[in-house]
Structure 1
Amino acid sequence: MTEVGSFNTVRLRLRPVRREDAARLFAIYGDPATQRFNPSGPLPDHEAANQLLQRWLSDWSDVGFGPWAVSERSDPETLIGFGGLSRLAYGDRLLPNLGYRFAVEAWGRGLATELAIAALRWAFDELGLAEVYGLVRPAHTASIRVLEKVGMTQVGTLDDAVPASLVYRVGRPP
Structure 2
Amino acid sequence: MQRTTERLILRPPTRDDVASLFAIYGDPATHQFNPFGPLTQLDQAQSLLDGWLAHWEEKGYGQWAICTCEFPDEVIGFGGLDARRYGDVLRLNLGYRFGPKAWGKGFATELSQAALAFGFVELRVPEVYAVVRPLHHASIRVLEKVGMQRIDTLDDVPGQAPSLVYRSMRPA
Indicate the percent of aligned positions where both proteins have the same amino acid.
56
1:138 pairs with one of 134, 139, 142: 134
CA distance in 1, matches of 2:64, 2:85: 19
Aligned residue for 2:30, secondary structure, equals coil
Alignment of 1:43 with 2:76, yes or no, is: no
Alignment of 1:109 with 2:105, yes or no, is: yes
CA distance in 1, matches of 2:12, 2:96: 13
The RMSD of aligned alpha carbons is 0.7
Instruction: Give the match for residue 153 of structure 1.
Output: 149
Instruction: Give the match for residue 76 of structure 1.
Output: 72
- Per-residue CA deviation, residues 77-100 of structure 1 (Å, 9 max, x unaligned), is 000000011121100122111011
Deviation at 1:62?
1.0
Instruction: Give the match for residue 167 of structure 1.
Output: 165
Q: Relative to structure 2, which stretch is displaced further, 87-96 or 10-19?
A: 87-96
Aligned residue for 2:31, secondary structure, equals coil
Instruction: Give the match for residue 91 of structure 2.
Output: 95
Contiguous gaps of at least 5 residues in structure 1: none
Instruction: Give the match for residue 85 of structure 1.
Output: 81
Contiguous gaps of at least 5 residues in structure 2: none
CA distance in 2, matches of 1:63, 1:94: 14
CA distance in 2, matches of 1:86, 1:40: 20
Q: Which amino acid aligns with 1:165?
A: S
Deviation at 1:68?
0.3
TM-score (norm: length of structure 1):
0.96
1:62 pairs with one of 42, 50, 58: 58
CA distance in 2, matches of 1:39, 1:128: 33
Deviation at 1:126?
0.8
Aligned residue for 1:33, secondary structure, equals helix
Number of equivalent positions = 170
Aligned residue for 1:146, secondary structure, equals helix
Displaced runs of 4 or more, over 3 A:
none
Q: Which amino acid aligns with 1:42?
A: P
Deviation at 1:63?
1.4
Q: Relative to structure 2, which stretch is displaced further, 90-99 or 22-31?
A: 90-99
Deviation at 1:60?
0.7
Matches within 5 A, 1:122-137: 122-137=118-133
- Per-residue CA deviation, residues 19-76 of structure 1 (Å, 9 max, x unaligned), is 1100100000000000111111101211110111011111111112110000000110
